[in-house]
Amino acid sequence: MDTALARALHVLGVVIWIGGVSMATTVALPAIRRGALGADRLQAFQTFEGRFVWQARTAVIVVGLTGFYMIERFGIWWRFGDGHYWWMHAMVGVWTLFMLLLFVGEPFVLHRYFPRWAQRYPERAFAVLHYVHVVLLVLSTVTVLGATAGSHGWLP
């Protein structure tokens, strides 16, 4: 029962977090780049980002806690030594990447340097921001597919 609850919270966290990344990448950022949300693109971006970042931070912590809890309870640390379970490495890799981005990159890079860059070279700054989101979304999508299929018996 406790592992079933951990799994349910794990998946809920993934849905909120990766769903938000997908919305930002495929809907919000293209609209901001086109200027559809107003001429002040930086303001439009910060309005979205400022609210979502706390949801993403909370979700990433829940996913990490429930994930490590399941590994310990199932006794499956050994999977990290078997390449068939590449999706376990992918989960921890994507999680580590987002932990760094949300808790270090966001306050110390995005807040400090991005506004100045976006004011000086808006086209390039938002194109790079969008590209980074596309890469993160592709990595996260592959991980979700691999983890769901893998934890239900798929061994490539």
Residue from the set 92, 101, 128, 137 that interacts with ligand HEM by CB under 6 A: 92
Listed in sequence order, the DSSP H helices in 2-113 are 2-23, 29-34, 41-74, 86-100
- Radius of gyration (Cα) for the chain, nearest Å? 17
Q: How many CB atoms lie within 10 A of CB 14?
A: 24
Q: How many CB atoms lie within 10 A of CB 140?
A: 22
Q: Does 147 bind ligand HEM (CB under 6 A)?
A: yes
Residue from the set 53, 61, 68, 133 that interacts with ligand HEM by CB under 6 A: 68
Question: For ligand HEM, which stretch binds (CB under 6 A), given 10-18, 37-45, 110-118, 125-133?
Answer: 10-18
> What residues from 17 to 36 belong to the interface with ligand HEM (CB under 6 A)?
18
Q: Does 7 bind ligand HEM (CB under 6 A)?
A: yes
Please state the closest distance from residue 53 (CB atom) to ligand HEM, in A.
17
- What distance in Å separates the CA atoms of residue 99 and residue 82, rounded to the nearest whole number? 25
Residue from the set 12, 16, 37, 71 that interacts with ligand HEM by CB under 6 A: 71
Please state the closest distance from residue 15 (CB atom) to ligand HEM, in A.
9
Q: Which tokens sit at 153?
A: 């018996």
**Helix (H), strand (E) at residue 40:** none
Which among 68, 12, 39, 116 is positioned nearest to 31, based on CA atoms?
39
Residues near ligand HEM, by CB under 6 A:
7, 10-11, 14, 18, 63-64, 67-68, 70-71, 91-92, 94-95, 140, 143-144, 147-148, 151
